[in-house]
Amino acid sequence: MLDVYDVDVAAALAAGVVIVGAAIAIGAMTQRRVGGLVFLGLILLSAFSLAAMTPVSVSAGIGEKSESPATVTELDPTYELGIGDLQLDLGDLTLPAGTTFVDASVGIGKLVVTVPEDVAVEIDAHAGVGSIDLMGALDDGVDADRTLTLPGSTADAPVLDLEADIAIGDIEVRRG
């Protein structure tokens, strides 16, 4: 019988770095040539750094993904994509009274979120490397952060609390 295990990419790469590092140390102590292992270790270390930096796992998907929940019951609290473009259209959604929390994350690529016109919006966005455009409020570069609070159409309008994260790429949030 074959057992299948779910292994985190960052953990597997970290284990590879440790194993190659140990092999380099043993090779150096026994006066063996380790140039190839040093090169392999650098590649593994770079891959591990990228995997550790991303807010989501590559196993969250690759490609273009478009989500448009029509009702609150279809709305997920979390949307993720490993590599690619994620379009999250909440523009036609009627939110209930109170606060609705949504977390949208992309590892590498682009994240575009459209929020309803009439709701109050609280946005916290972070880009490891890239740009953030929150309805015209901009930030870009390394470790870009931007927060924005906008009122709804009425004083008792529902509130959408949006957390948007990307490791490498662009975030755009707009009204729909």
Reported as a single tens digit per residue, the pLDDT across 81-114 is 888 899 999 999 999 999 999 999 998 899 999 9
Same domain for 99 and 17?
no
Q: Name the strands in the sheet holding 159-175, side by side, starting at the edge strand that comes first in the sequence.
A: 62-67, 78-89, 99-115, 159-175, 120-134, 137-150
Domain that holds residue 75: 60-175
pLDDT at residue 171 in the model: 96
Q: Indicate whether 4 belongs to any domain.
A: no
Same domain for 86 and 139?
yes
Task: Identify the helix (H) or strand (E) that includes residue 78.
Answer: strand 78-89
For residues 105 and 41, give the distance between their C-alpha atoms in angstroms, rounded to a whole number.
29
The C-alpha angle with vertex 135 and arms to 167 and 102, in degrees rounded to 5, equals 55
Amino acid identity of residue 75, one-letter, is: L
Higher pLDDT, 135 or 8: 135
Same domain for 139 and 156?
yes
Say how many domains are in the chain: 2
pLDDT at residue 53 in the model: 64
Same domain for 141 and 162?
yes
Tokens representing residue 129 in the block: 């490397």
Q: Which residues contact 147 (CB under 8 A, 6 or more apart)?
A: 122, 123, 124, 125
Q: Which residues contact 172 (CB under 8 A, 6 or more apart)?
A: 110, 111, 112, 113, 133
Q: What tens digit of pLDDT does each residue of 6-65 get?
A: 556 667 777 888 888 888 888 888 888 888 888 888 888 877 776 666 665 555 678 899
Amino acid identity of residue 108, one-letter, is: I
Same domain for 117 and 154?
yes
Same domain for 49 and 65?
no
Rounded average pLDDT over 116-142? 92
Same domain for 92 and 140?
yes
Residue count (the chain): 176
Q: Indicate whether 154 belongs to any domain.
A: yes
Same domain for 105 and 141?
yes
Q: Indicate whether 3 belongs to any domain.
A: no
Strand, coil or helix: 13: helix
> In this structure, are residues 140 and 171 in contact, taking their beta carbons and an 8 Å threshold?
no
Same domain for 149 and 120?
yes
Neighbours of 173 (CB within 10 A): 24
At 4, the pLDDT band (50, 70, 90 cuts) reads very low
Q: What tens digit of pLDDT does each residue of 138-170 get?
A: 899 888 999 999 998 898 999 999 999 998 899
